């Protein structure tokens, strides 16, 4: 039976495998989950690049509130943290770092969102267990992750490729990096 990414359910062992596969694919592509040596994507590379207009979207958060990117235009910078799976070690570390740095993001006028394909119940458990302060958005079909070039695949299985995107108040991508870049690097790219 071929698993459809929209209906894929996981066990604890499969979650670990997904997190490791995501990490491995990042290493194979010349990056690591801990950092990416390049501050911006190559302008000649396919997909999303610094300087591109950020694709608009509307996604529901874990509490059902719709979040629309264009609602932030002219008001605040936005940071999107695309991550593979709730409750996995790498994703937990990444989002807990964003939680711990919430004051720095707020001081920079940035709204921060986690994005992946997990459902509202999974996001709610993840938020409660780790005291996450940023909304987690539900991208069940991974359409938004695809628009931001943040999806990798292994055969029919598609998962989010750990990617951080910084968007300025004008809707322009000012930061784009795979892995888990330092908060200081993300904030340095966002205009005041």
pLDDT of residue 156: 84
- Give the max Cα distance, the chain: 51
Q: Which residue has the tokens 């709730």?
A: 86
pLDDT of residue 184: 97
CB atoms within 10 A of CB 170: 12
- Residues spanned by the domain of 26: 12-189
Residue 144 lies in a domain: yes
Give the number of C-alpha atoms closer than 13 A to the C-alpha of residue 60, restricted to the C-beta side: 12
CATH number for the domain spanning 143: value is: 3.40.30.10
Report residue 151 as tokens. Answer: 């999806």
Q: Which residue has the tokens 């936005």?
A: 78
pLDDT of residue 46: 53
> Which distant-in-sequence residues (6+ apart) come within 8 Å of 43 by Cβ?
49, 50, 51
pLDDT tens track for 45-71:
458 899 999 999 999 999 999 999 999
pLDDT of residue 23: 42
Residue 106 lies in a domain: yes
Residue 114 lies in a domain: yes
Residue 78 lies in a domain: yes
Determine how β-strand 58-61 pairs with β-strand 136-138. Answer: antiparallel
Residue 21 lies in a domain: yes
- Catalytic, out of 78, 81, 91, 137: 91
Q: What does the alpha-carbon distance between residue 22 and residue 26 come to, in Å, rounded to a whole number?
A: 6
Residue 168 lies in a domain: yes
Q: Is 91 annotated as catalytic?
A: yes
Q: How many domains does the chain have?
A: 1
Give the chain's residues under pLDDT 50.
1-45
Residue 17 lies in a domain: yes
pLDDT of residue 147: 96
Prediction pTM value: 0.78
pLDDT of residue 47: 81
Residue 7 lies in a domain: no
């Amino acid at each position: 039976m071929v698993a459809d990414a929209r209906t894929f359910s996981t066990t604890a062992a499969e979650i670990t495998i997904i997190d490791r596969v995501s990490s491995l694919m990042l290493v194979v592509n010349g990056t690591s989950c801990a950092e990416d040596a390049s501050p911006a994507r190559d302008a000649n590379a396919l997909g999303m690049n610094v300087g591109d207009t950020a694709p608009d979207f509307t996604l529901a958060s874990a509490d059902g509130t719709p979040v629309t990117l264009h609602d932030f235009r002219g008001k605040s910078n936005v940071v999107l943290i695309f991550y593979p799976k709730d409750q996995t070690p790498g994703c937990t570390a990444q989002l807990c770092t964003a939680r711990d740095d919430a004051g720095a993001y707020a001081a920079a006028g940035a709204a921060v969102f986690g994005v992946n394909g997990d459902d509202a119940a999974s996001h709610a458990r993840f938020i409660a267990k780790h005291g996450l302060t940023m909304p987690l958005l539900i991208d069940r079909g991974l359409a938004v992750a695809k628009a931001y070039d943040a999806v990798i695949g292994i055969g029919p299985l598609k998962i989010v490729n750990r990617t951080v995107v910084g968007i300025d108040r004008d809707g322009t991508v000012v930061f784009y990096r795979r892995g888990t870049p330092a908060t200081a690097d993300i904030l340095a790219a966002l205009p005041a």
